[in-house]
Amino acid sequence: MFRSLHMKLVMILLLLITSLMTIVGAFMMTNITRFFIDEFYQQVEGVFGNSDPTNGAFVNSLRQEAGQEEGAVQTLQRMIEAQAGDLGLNSSTRNYYILDGRTGAFLAGSESQAAFEELPVTANLLTARNSIAGGTSQVGDQSDITAGYMDVAIPITGGDNAFIIYIYDNRDTVSSLNSQLFLIIVQALLVGLLISVLLSFLLSKTMVIPIERLTERAERVAAGDFGGATAVGSTDEIGVLTTTFNDMAAVLQDTLAAVENERSKLDTLFLHMTDGVVSFAGDGSILTSNPAASRMLGREISFYDYDALFGQQFPLRQVMGLQRPNFLSGELSVRGRILELYLAPVPDGGSGGAMAVLHDVTAQRKNDDMRKEFVANVSHELRTPLTNVRGYAETLRDSQDIPREMEESFLDIIINETDRMTHIVQDLLSLSRLDSGRADLKMVRFSLLDAMESVCRAVELEAQRRGHTLERRYASPLPLITGDRNRLEQVLMNVVGNAIKYTPDGGIISVDAGVRGPNVWIEVSDNGIGIPSQDRERIFDRFYRVDKARSRESGGTGLGLSIAREIVERHHGAIAIADHDGPGTTVRILLPIRQKQEAGNE
């Protein structure tokens, strides 16, 4: 309770008032006593002269009277009573006594002897008596504020007689005045205390209540509730503090919102990033991980720790011992996928920790492998005809008497082989153009039926030569489609050509087409040698051939279907080998009737 600001304020005010009143009271009471003492001695001095009584006229006349043989005491008494007003004598508090100068015995006075005898023998009285005994006349007029009285003893000697006129004030007037004053001070103190309590309430209204409100708000802000701003009721320091606090809370709220925003962005990024991220505490337990990490490692990794996940690659201590920005990297193979692993130390409080980043490089490696394989294939495909050309050319050069027919057949082979190389190079160029996106498609609206008929007419002769039956079954009417006619004819030519090539003589080749939804479909079927199911997807790979020798024999480069797929996909279509049992092959092509970019045009 006494710790509250309000109570402290009350206590401070009470202490202040009490100490102030005590000091003022003590000061006043001391000064009043001093005033009365000074007043007393001034009055005495006014009547008897200063401390040297030899100078005073009144004292001299007292001395003259004291020298009388008879009635000296009475005369002195009369003379002093005549001065009673100036001396401030009154029977109750201030009295005079005429004493025997040598014995100090009571001779006369404003009070009885009995009353005198009750008075203490004071230092002033003794001074006067001693001075008479010593033959001098020393007035005892030393004041003592601590004593409970005021007195003065004036030795009066005349002839043989010696008297002491002793004036004694019991200071009752001062005491009663002081008690009155004390009472007033106590009353003032009580009123002061009451006022201070009231004042403290008033002050608390202007000082403590705003501070309490501010404290309450600060507590709410600390708990995350930024609520409305605290009202500013004044322009003093508390008002400035409140305004500053409101500003600070607003800035804090904005900063927190920005931090929260950034955090949620980071969370989203962390959640959806393709790389796996796992952070570990110093003891190897998992702190955070993203779904990609679990996906890549093929298990819910939150159930494991560092040693179980990467302990075999690098011990955690080794990772944590690294100096930033150094890191360790390695490779993991999980369920046929190749993962690159990066491990770096992370300062995490006192113990530190580690961070693991997993990067799936399977596709990249596959691409690398494919690229290497492709280069090897290209070299191989070009080397074979080149070897043949060189072989036959050398034979022609070295042999003297080759029959004419043989020479011609050698030259035919050389020409065929160079044609083949030209084909390969042309096909590679087409592929490279399609790959790099440099091959611009000349999109036009054209009749699919016309295109198919033109392809069939081109291969008809070859089909007849091989004794194939070429059947066409088109759903009528076939629509106009948008595409690069030449390239699509190149696709059809390749597919129909393959059907003719890979079907033993006298086969049946059918070309069907129709409309399905927004697409047209084309199916080229034959009853030839067929493609084993495990090769059906791979034949679209570059240079892939089921039967290399046969393909080469028939002039194939192994690039036709790769080019066909690239062209069809550039038209947003699809090409695949249909899964079916039995002999023969069915190639299916699906093409959109309209290309996406023209949707808004018509």
Binding interface with ligand ADP (CB under 6 A): 494, 498-499, 502, 526, 528-531, 539, 545-547, 551, 556-561, 585
**Whole-number minimum distance, CB 591 to ligand ADP, in Å?**
19
Residue 489 CB neighbours (<10 A): 18
**H/E segment holding residue 51:** none
Burial bucket for residue 572 (CB in 10 Å: 0-12, 13-18, 19+): middle
Cβ-Cβ contacts under 8 Å for 428 (sequence gap 6 or more): 378, 559
Alpha carbon of 485 to those of 426, 480, 512, 569: distances in Å?
Answer: 19, 11, 18, 14
* CA nearest neighbour of 34 among 157, 200, 145: 145
DSSP letter (8 states) at residue 72: H
How would DSSP label each residue in 270-328? HHH-SSEEEEE-TTS-EEEE-HHHHHHHTS-GGG--HHHHHTTTS-HHHHHTSPTT--E
**Whole-number minimum distance, CB 588 to ligand ADP, in Å?**
12
Nearer to ligand ADP by C-beta: 353 or 584?
584
**Whole-number minimum distance, CB 272 to ligand ADP, in Å?**
38
Nearer to ligand ADP by C-beta: 390 or 550?
550
Nearer to ligand ADP by C-beta: 181 or 529?
529
**Whole-number minimum distance, CB 380 to ligand ADP, in Å?**
14
**Whole-number minimum distance, CB 586 to ligand ADP, in Å?**
9
- Six token digits for residue 506: 């006298």
Nearer to ligand ADP by C-beta: 280 or 502?
502
**Whole-number minimum distance, CB 464 to ligand ADP, in Å?**
18
Nearer to ligand ADP by C-beta: 217 or 545?
545
**345 upstream amide cis, omega within 30 of 0:** no
**Whole-number minimum distance, CB 472 to ligand ADP, in Å?**
17
- Six token digits for residue 450: 């016309």
HSE-up of 41 (CA within 13 Å, CB side)? 17
Long-range contacts of 326-329 (CB under 8 A, 24+ apart): none
Nearer to ligand ADP by C-beta: 131 or 494?
494
**H/E segment holding residue 535:** none
Cβ-Cβ contacts under 8 Å for 573 (sequence gap 6 or more): 519, 589, 590, 591, 592
**Whole-number minimum distance, CB 397 to ligand ADP, in Å?**
32
Nearer to ligand ADP by C-beta: 468 or 594?
468
**Whole-number minimum distance, CB 535 to ligand ADP, in Å?**
7
How would DSSP label each residue in 545-571? -SSHHHHHHTT--S-HHHHHHHHHHHT
* CA nearest neighbour of 168 among 188, 153, 190, 178: 153
- 3-state SS assignment for residue 31: helix
CA 581 to chain centre: 66
CA 461 to chain centre: 80
CA dihedral 199, 201, 205, 209 (to 10 degrees): 130
Nearer to ligand ADP by C-beta: 311 or 555?
555
Residue nearest to ligand ADP (CB): 556
Nearer to ligand ADP by C-beta: 93 or 586?
586
**H/E segment holding residue 154:** strand 150-158
Nearer to ligand ADP by C-beta: 63 or 468?
468
Nearer to ligand ADP by C-beta: 388 or 498?
498
Nearer to ligand ADP by C-beta: 311 or 504?
504
- Report helix angle 72-82 to 57-66, nearest 10: 160
Cβ-Cβ contacts under 8 Å for 578 (sequence gap 6 or more): 523, 586, 587, 588
Nearer to ligand ADP by C-beta: 318 or 554?
554
**325 upstream amide cis, omega within 30 of 0:** yes
Nearer to ligand ADP by C-beta: 129 or 487?
487
Cβ-Cβ contacts under 8 Å for 18 (sequence gap 6 or more): 189, 193
Whether the Cβ atoms of residue 496 and residue 455 lie closer than 8 Å to each other: yes
